[in-house]
Amino acid sequence: MRRAYARVFAAVIVLASACAPAGAPTSGEAIPVLGTENFYADLLTQIGGTRVTVSSILNDPNADPHEYEANPQTAKLVADAKVVIVNGIGYDDFMDKLLAASTKPDRVVLNVQAILKKGDGENAHVWYDPATMPKVAEAATAALSKLDPQSAGYFATQQAKYLAALKPIDDKIASLRAKYTGAPVAFTEPVAEYQADAIGLRVLTPEGFMKAIEQAVDPAPGDVAAERDLLTGKKVRVLVYNSQVTSPLTKDIHDLAVKSGVPVLGVAETIPPQFKTYAEWMLSQLAELESALAK
């Protein structure tokens, strides 16, 4: 799943101290935790509140997450963390070596692939599935409560608030499903495929085209021709375009959609910096999708 055409990538690591309402436990040191991707770091921030210090590794909106290479600063963050969330499914394999290099008996590693019971060959972009974050939140709450039993009630309260913040996402998906089930769309690659499935959108892009783009290989000429025909023939209502990881071919497809009058929805693989939370990010993209489908 590594790509040959990544943009310039740098190890951008963000340390976040979470804020929480009055009444949070204050005794003892905050627990160092790590969400490999920044949407998992956001989850830990929301649930851990004042009882955690949170770091993330994959958070650069201009870099290809698949091409990330660890460095000593990353290794230290992993070594210090007592709770680590990894995505799995081949998305963040670099974490395997980092975790193995700094074994810690009391560290809890939450592998989202294992939590969701996903196979190795499945779509790795599971955070676009509306069912994912509630399951990860449950596992994270349990892990934090095990490490800090005195704060278990606080973590449970924070989890409830986090889940409440996700409800508008479910509501928006349900609204879109009621209006646009069966609406035809095209992808450059299946980043938001789980979300599209939840809405009931019909993806017409050839499977071979999407897989080739995801694996950084040239799609078959017939698949490229079919993808282009979807746009020039205006057979789809939206092109869903990975704006974070691009190539000359995907840029060409993007430009063809614009030229053909097909609305383009840009989707990302990490929370862009203009959004404070995962929920805010998802709701913004869903609002943009609704506007595009309505055209």
Q: How does pLDDT run across 152-173, given as a tens digit for each residue? A: 999 999 999 999 999 999 999 9
pLDDT of residue 101: 92
pLDDT digits (tens, 9 = 90+) for 216-245: 899 999 999 999 999 999 999 999 999 988
What is the residue-wise DSSP string for 180-248?
Answer: HTT-EEEESSSTTHHHHHHHT-EE-S-HHHHHHHHTTSPPPHHHHHHHHHHHHTT--SEEEEESSS--H
**Three-state secondary structure call for residue 111:** strand
CB under 8 Å to 256, separation ≥6 — which residues?
228, 231, 232
pLDDT digits (tens, 9 = 90+) for 60-71: 766 666 667 777
Q: Could you say which residues of the chain have pLDDT below 50? A: 1-23
DSSP-derived pairing of the beta strands 108-111 and 184-187: unpaired
pLDDT of residue 26: 52
pLDDT of residue 27: 56
pLDDT of residue 60: 73
pLDDT of residue 129: 98
What is the residue-wise DSSP string for 81-98?
Answer: -SEEEE--TTSSTHHHHH
